[in-house]
Every structure is written in structure tokens, then in C-alpha cells.
Amino acid sequence: MATIPKFPGYLSRRGRFEPKDPSAALPTALPSGLVLDLTVTQPERAQLSCLGPQWLSGLPSAPYDADPRGLGSARGALARYLSPRAAVSAEQLLLTASTSEAYAYLLLLLCDPGDSILVPTPGYPLLDDLAQLCGVRLLRYRLRYDGAWFMDTTSLPDRAQMLAQRVRFVVAISPHNPTGHVMSGAELRALLALGVPLVVDEVFEPYVLKRYETDLDPLVLGNEAPLVLTLSGLSKSAGAPGLKLGWLCAQGGQASAFLSELEYVSDAFLSVNQLVAQGLPQILTQVSAIQARIRARLMLNADLVSEVFFGSAVTVLPLRAGWSIVLRLPDVLAEETWLQLFAAAGVSVQAGRLFDLPLSSSVVVSALTVPDMLQAGLEKIRAVVDAETAT
């Protein structure tokens, strides 16, 4: 986030951001000059071969063809890519430059200033900023951990509270980051029963490492609902954040009318790069191999983390999905103190409180990290914890 100039008289209330907690993430440089960075979530930086913007240089150019829903050939290829999961047509899809932009479109179209949306906690910190920019409030329902992550249905508002708080849509992040929680069919239907549109952020869907019979694909759920909006993009599915292409899939009885309205918002920006859209059919032929390489790294690192902390006071929360691993630390020290000790040892991690994790002390590490670096960093963390918990 850019530094906000010190002239609040010129800023709207939407633009007055509170400074981020500087202790929520460790510094990227220490006096020793040695940092084992366990926070890298960009595949290329983690030495995973993926698609980058340079890949576009080999694509043929074509005359610009503005379409508020995105290039038809790209949406057709995307519909075919999604077809093994559910029957999706190109007419149900709208391209964006990112899932963040898709969220912004939904906030602009579905909410008036002062309205609310219902989101999970632990959550996605960027949603706070996007909601503030659109003048929208966030209400939260809880995910809890008791050997596995689950949705606390008692934290959902009732219909009267939904109306009083002017809740316009509800967000499910499934698979969830950083917990890896995947919504069950019962949990998704509990959100749908709230009576407002359901937005499912499924950017980590290709990286579900363990699937259960109780799981329900949101693309299938959309067929039984008034309006379900599923978000994803190339950032995670192709490991290519630099290509800047995401999508929104609208399903349900109100989908067609909704997309007709959403076109007006998209048409005001027309932000999707046409060269990326033209290349999407070719890009999608390569994502299977890319996803396989990423999943292999995730499984390797999940085993590595378990091995390093076997028999220690650190609890490794199981990696079911996504790119993050949560480490629950012993309560002998506060989370802030643990972070300071890890920093002094030259290890960079993310604080659990950055995501509002409901754990007294925890840190989050990237499961994409180069294995040698991950092992070295985890061994330092274990040494610190062992020293502080020695009897």
C-alpha cells in the first residue's frame, strides 16, 4: 500500500487508510543481511516454472475488439476448461483483470455506501481495503479450528440482522487462505440460505490436496440457487499473477439479468488486456502441467514441515488446500515475542494476526518456498522454540 500524504483535508473518508500493523510481517532485511524468507507466494520467485508476461511476445496481434464481458473466444475456451466440473457457457462468464477487480465490480454494482457484505474471519486482508474504497462495511462470520477448520454457523446473522445491517451479499473463500479450509455442501448451503447473492472465491481450487465426500463444487451449487458468483483467475490457476486475467462465473435463475447489469460496470473500465485474452485458449492448455508442478511442491513441503516439527512444541495445522501452512506456537510467549525471536534468527514469516487467526500464537509460512530454504528456516524456528520451551 502506498504511503498516504499528510493532507487529510483533500481525502475522502474512503481514502483515509489506517497504517498497516508493521509488526504483522517481519522485515525483508536484517542487520546481518541474511533472511530466510518463508513468505514468498509467487511461483516464479519460488523457482517454479510457470507462465510470465514474456510468454505473450510470441502471440500474434489482432485488431482491438472491445467487449465488456471479455473476448468471446477467451470466454469460450474458459467455458471448455470449466466443463469437467459443470456445464458452463461463455455467456455466463465475464473477464476481469483480477479477482480483486471482480470484487470491486460487485461492491460497486450490488452495494450503496453504508451497505454491508458478510465475509469470513480469518479473512482476506485486501477485502477490508476494497470495501473501504467503495464505502461498504464488513460483517464477519467465523471459521474455527478444532483439529480441522469448520464454519461456526452460530456466528451467522439471522434474517432480521441481515436486513438491519443492510447485507447485500455474502463471501465464501473456498479453499480458504491461509487455513486451507474447503467449504462442505452443508456450509455453502447455510450461506445460500441467508437469502442474498453468494460470492465464492475459489482461486485456490486447483490445489485441494484432500477431497471429502461432503465437499460440494460451487459450480454445481450454482444450478440450485438464485445467484451464485464464482471468482478465479490465472494468478493461481496458472501460477501467473503477471498475466493479469481473472473471471467471474454467474449461475442461477438471476444470472442472465445480473450479467446484463454488470456489463455497465465492466464497460466503464474495459481493463482486460486483449493480448492476454487472445492467448487464453493456449494458456489453458498448459495449466494442467503447471498445477501438477505446484501441487508436487506443496505436498513435498507439507511432508517437510511435519518432519521438522515432529516431537516439538509446534503444532503443524494440516495442509488440506492452498499455498499456506499455519504453525501454532506454544503459549509460553506472546505471538509478538515469537515474531521478534524469529526475526533475530533471520527468518521471515507472516503473523497469524494478519489474517485474524483464532489462535493465541501462530505464524504462516508459504508452502511454495524452495524446499532447501524452507527446511533451513523451519529448523531455525524449531531451535528457537526448543530453547524457549526447554524444561
CATH code, 293: 3.90.1150.10
| Per-residue model confidence (pLDDT) at position 14 | 72
pLDDT of residue 5: 53
Among 285, 313, 335, residue at a domain's last position = 285
For residues 137 and 245, state if they share a domain. yes
- Are 202 and 345 contained in the same domain? no
Least confident of 38-42, 53-57, 118-122, 280-284: 53-57
Q: Determine the pLDDT at residue 29.
A: 43
* Same-domain status, 215 and 92: yes
| Entry pTM | 0.91
Structural domain includes residue 183: yes
26 confidence band (pLDDT: 50, 70, 90): very low
Per-residue pLDDT at 55: 67
33 — pLDDT class (breaks 50, 70, 90): low
pLDDT at residue 45 is higher than 50: yes
Q: How confident is the model at residue 28 (pLDDT cuts 50, 70, 90)?
A: very low
87, 235: one domain: yes
Q: Could you give the C-alpha distances from 315 to 242, 322, 329, 336, 371, in angstroms and in order? A: 34, 18, 7, 18, 20
Query: Which of 105, 318, 292, 263 lies closest to 199 in space, CA to CA?
Result: 105
Integer Cα distance of 228 and 88 in angstroms: 13
Helix (H, G, I), strand (E, B) or coil at 250: strand
Residues 164 and 269 in one domain: yes
Residue 61 has pLDDT above 80, yes or no: no
Q: Identify the band that residue 6 occupies on the pLDDT scale cut at 50, 70 and 90.
A: low
Query: What is the percentage of the chain residues whose pLDDT exceeds 70?
Result: 89
Query: Do both 163 and 250 map to the same domain?
Result: yes
Q: Which domain holds residue 334?
A: 8-49+288-389
CATH number at residue 177: 3.40.640.10
Q: How would residue 50 be classed by pLDDT, with cut points 50, 70 and 90? A: confident
Residues 295 and 254 in one domain: no
Check residue 329 and report its DSSP letter: P
Q: How confident is the model at residue 25 (pLDDT cuts 50, 70, 90)?
A: very low
pLDDT for the residue numbered 27: 44
- Sheet (strand 315-316) strand order: 315-316, 324-328, 362-366, 350-351
- Helix ranges restricted to H, the chain: 72-82, 99-110, 125-133, 159-164, 185-192, 218-221, 234-237, 255-269, 274-284, 287-308, 335-344, 371-389
Q: Are residues 308 and 277 in the same domain?
A: no
Higher-pLDDT residue of 159 and 20 is 159
pLDDT at 391 over 70: no
Pairing relationship of beta strands 198-201 and 315-316 according to DSSP bridges: unpaired
Mean pLDDT for 23-43 is 67
User: Is the model's pLDDT at 332 over the cut of 50?
Assistant: yes
* Shared domain check, 243 and 218: yes
* Shared domain check, 121 and 243: yes
175-215 pLDDT, tens digit each = 999 999 999 999 999 999 999 999 999 999 999 999 999 99
Q: What is the pLDDT of residues 224-281, one digit of tens each?
A: 889 999 999 999 999 998 889 999 999 999 999 999 999 999 999 999 988 899 999 9
Domain count across the chain? 2
Q: Name the least confident of 45-49, 62-66, 312-316, 366-370.
A: 62-66
DSSP 8-state secondary structure symbol assigned to residue 55: G
Report DSSP state, residue 353. Answer: G
pLDDT band of residue 3 (cuts 50, 70, 90) is low
The answer to whether the CB of 53 falls within 8 A of the CB of 242 is yes
| pLDDT above 80 (res 57) | no
